[in-house]
Amino acid sequence: MDDTTAFMELSALLTGRYSIVTDAEDKALSEPIAKEYQRRLMGVFSARLPALLNAYKDLASTTPPPPIDDALLKNLRDRQEFKDHEFVAKQIVNIWYFSQFKADESPNFLDGGFYEEGLVWSLIKAHPIGFSHQPHGYWTKQPES
């Protein structure tokens, strides 16, 4: 399994957004974002992210591959490699939901580069603050019921 596939599957497992690996259209749209997120995280966690990916690969490289579900997540969370790098796993979740992540325990966040694509927006049924696909002036009209 290559690192991009492992990162996407691990991301799906951690975020609960399984469609980024199970739905062909969503996968095609998410792959460039995943590659950039992986690149940015590798820039900060150059030793820790590969260790986490390898822990995932060890579990997911069986034949047949296990389903990406809560049972696999539990197995991953039980591994010492996950416990050692849980902070990095949390930053994978942060970058997918909010397009930002932390390099350490400080209050400062680093940009993920895809603010408008954060998973949080569809969950709260809102567009990103300061960004909309609607035409200028859309806010002056009542929403359709």
* Domain contains 112: yes
**Please, what is the end-to-end C-alpha distance for the chain in angstroms?**
47
* Single-letter code of the amino acid located at 120: V
* Domain contains 100: yes
* Domain contains 34: yes
* Domain contains 53: yes
Each residue's pLDDT tens digit in the chain (145 positions)? 999 999 999 999 999 999 999 999 999 999 999 999 999 999 999 999 999 999 999 999 998 989 999 999 999 999 999 999 999 999 999 999 999 999 999 999 999 999 989 999 988 888 788 777 778 888 788 877 7
Quote the number of domains for the chain: 1
Dihedral of CA atoms 79, 81, 86, 87 in degrees, nearest 10, equals: 180
Domain range for 125 is 3-140
State how far Cα 127 lies from the chain centre.
Answer: 19
